[in-house]
Amino acid sequence: MLVHECMSNYVELGRPDMTLKEVSCLMRDGDYGFLPIQENDRLIGTLTDRDITIRAVAAGLSPDTTKVYEVMSKKVLYCYEDQTLEEVTRNLGDNQVRRLPVLNRDKRLVGVLSLGDLSQAELAAEQFESAVSRISQSTPSSRAGRNMQ
């Protein structure tokens, strides 16, 4: 099975110049925990509710003045819509991420793939369980807050 067969096609986008208050309201209203950040039709980062909590709130930054680009993850992990779920599931686990932006081969954002999407796919149970297990492993960097999603 390929990524485009089970990914979420609707993707809400954030902009790097939005304030954390603006983006937090957008995330709340849409019930999103993850937003791709796009500028000039290109994916330049991602933002999670955890990024906001760890990098902004815990650091005492103001949500009214702090911009998304100040706390977003700039290292963007992604997959292609024509990759196999087996390959992408392995990468999710190896990188300990729960969601990936999905790009076409022109590197345009076309969707998001999440663990929830994978759980609904016709994916071998052992592949899914293996990815979840690897994602959930506690590492020193995950306890300290890392620069990834």
Domain count, the chain: 1
d(CA 125, CA 57): 37
- Give the CATH number of the domain where residue 88 resides: 3.10.580.10
- 135, amino acid identity: I
Domain that holds residue 57: 3-144
> In this structure, is residue 126 part of a structural domain?
yes
Q: Which pTM does this prediction carry?
A: 0.78
Question: What is the full per-residue pLDDT of the chain (149 aa) written as tens digits?
Answer: 899 999 999 999 999 999 999 999 999 999 999 999 999 989 999 999 999 999 999 999 999 999 999 999 999 999 999 999 888 988 888 888 889 999 999 999 999 998 888 887 765 455 556 555 655 666 555 434 433 33
Write down the pLDDT at residue 95. Answer: 85
- pLDDT, position 135: 56
CA 67 → CA 47, 61, 72, 116, 139, distances in Å?
11, 10, 9, 29, 29
